[in-house]
Structure 1
């Protein structure tokens, strides 16, 4: 497959490369370059912005479980305060049904090859994602591609980076595409039951994704994760 015209992004150290124009057949392009990442050291990413800045990923945040426990405690305290001022919030179905932090969701059974699952899932990206450019990012693992490519969103990126690395180990995820403040991951080992799916959904909730906080009831969102091979995040 011929590499489309593109350029290296400015910056120190190994730099990501980005195509000048959106690519045709993004799923095939992504899969072709993904298959050659061992030779090139470059991980593919489908990206919706033509111009963006590159920056190396920071060190992995330690104490992820403690960080999420503190974030959940802060959210619960905030919610308890505001629901006293808005009776409609008291029974909202958008709120996760946990009083205390339940701990990280347990790893799923390793039932598929993560890279094969990624090549299948990339074909299921929604057409609404729009035209996408190809990014080739020098990274040691899929979870580090976003940081290397300089992608940002209105979320705690340090927490998200740590979660991406943890999800990669627990659920065989791979980063597929980032379009604006939307992100898609493939999932090789999704939860098989609603119990662990609820705990995964709580981890998603603590990234601030608007898919739950504004529109989708928590239980409906958690149920969609059971057997689901594609995770979407949106920070509006």
Structure 2
């Protein structure tokens, strides 16, 4: 993946780890820095203010019940391409054609296309909203900084393998995150071993908007729709997308 000059080794940071551990052995430069202590309210905003001018962006890392940090996540930057080399709609359409008919029914055989951007937005800026969401989950995850051009690229920048059973190259999903960043003002707030949480500065506010977006969520992460009853795009749209300022993804 194309990268910015990595400023992590030159930056004075709180006690923590500059991670070079990958599934294939040591990486040639730090993939990220993460703190020794759990995040506190305000950490995400402070790290963004410090890191953004240097090409570094904040994210919270959730180690799960056993607090297994990213050194245990089998990061694979060598197998990760560049998000800008992929088209978001092509990525979603391919996944839709592979899974939708079997899992949603034959009436969903044809890819419906990208959803239009909603007209409304939250009162806060996208980064203010992301900081507020990060503060809400502070204490259960560790703050981190990642060399990345934009928030949507964070998973690819570290070679995150959370969606491995669905997509082998996370940069393809980051192309979708870029599209959502443009249309929905999303920010990648937190990553776990196989989970992702994003803030949504421009959530859908009508049923049709939410339903159109639900198709993209299914193609991006089919497990989100299939994991708990009642299943179906319309139920998912109404309960997880309509007016929601946080989207959570989990890949089995």
Q: TM-score, normalised by structure 1?
A: 0.79
What is aligned with 1:220?
235
Pairwise CA distance, 1:164: 0.8
Pairwise CA distance, 1:99: 4.1
- Residues 73-94 of structure 1: CA deviation (Å, up to 9, x unaligned): 2324545xxxxxxxxxxxxxx6
Equivalent of 1:151 in 126, 151, 160: 160
User: Where do residues 68-87 of structure 1 align in structure 2 (5 Å cutoff)?
Assistant: 68-79=92-103
Equivalent of 2:45 in 10, 21, 31: 31
1:16 and 1:54 in contact (8 A); partners too: no
Pairwise CA distance, 1:138: 1.1
1:22 and 1:131 in contact (8 A); partners too: no
**What is the aligned-residue RMSD (CA, Å)?**
2.7
In the alignment, structure 1 residue 123 sits paired with structure 2 residue 142: no
The CA distance in 2 between the partners of 1:118 and 1:232, in whole Å, is 13
The CA distance in 1 between the partners of 2:52 and 2:237, in whole Å, is 34
Aligned length in residues: 216
- SS of 1:233's equivalent? strand
Pairwise CA distance, 1:6: 1.4
Q: Return 5+ residue gaps in structure 2 as ranges.
A: 1-11, 21-26
- SS of 1:177's equivalent? strand
Q: Return 5+ residue gaps in structure 1 as ranges.
A: 80-93
Pairwise CA distance, 1:67: 3.4
Moved more, 196-205 or 149-158: 149-158
- SS of 1:152's equivalent? coil
Q: TM-score, normalised by structure 2?
A: 0.75
The CA distance in 2 between the partners of 1:97 and 1:208, in whole Å, is 19
The CA distance in 2 between the partners of 1:99 and 1:7, in whole Å, is 47
Pairwise CA distance, 1:96: 9.7
Equivalent of 1:199 in 203, 207, 212: 212
What is aligned with 1:58?
81
What is aligned with 1:5?
15
- Residues 15-62 of structure 1: CA deviation (Å, up to 9, x unaligned): 42122x24242x421122123333332111111242154738622243
- SS of 1:215's equivalent? coil
The CA distance in 2 between the partners of 1:66 and 1:192, in whole Å, is 26
- SS of 1:66's equivalent? helix
The CA distance in 2 between the partners of 1:97 and 1:120, in whole Å, is 40
What is aligned with 1:141?
150
2:93 and 2:219 in contact (8 A); partners too: no
- SS of 1:192's equivalent? coil
Q: Pick closer, same or farther for the CA change 1:140–1:66 going to 2, 3 Å.
A: closer
2:189 and 2:197 in contact (8 A); partners too: yes
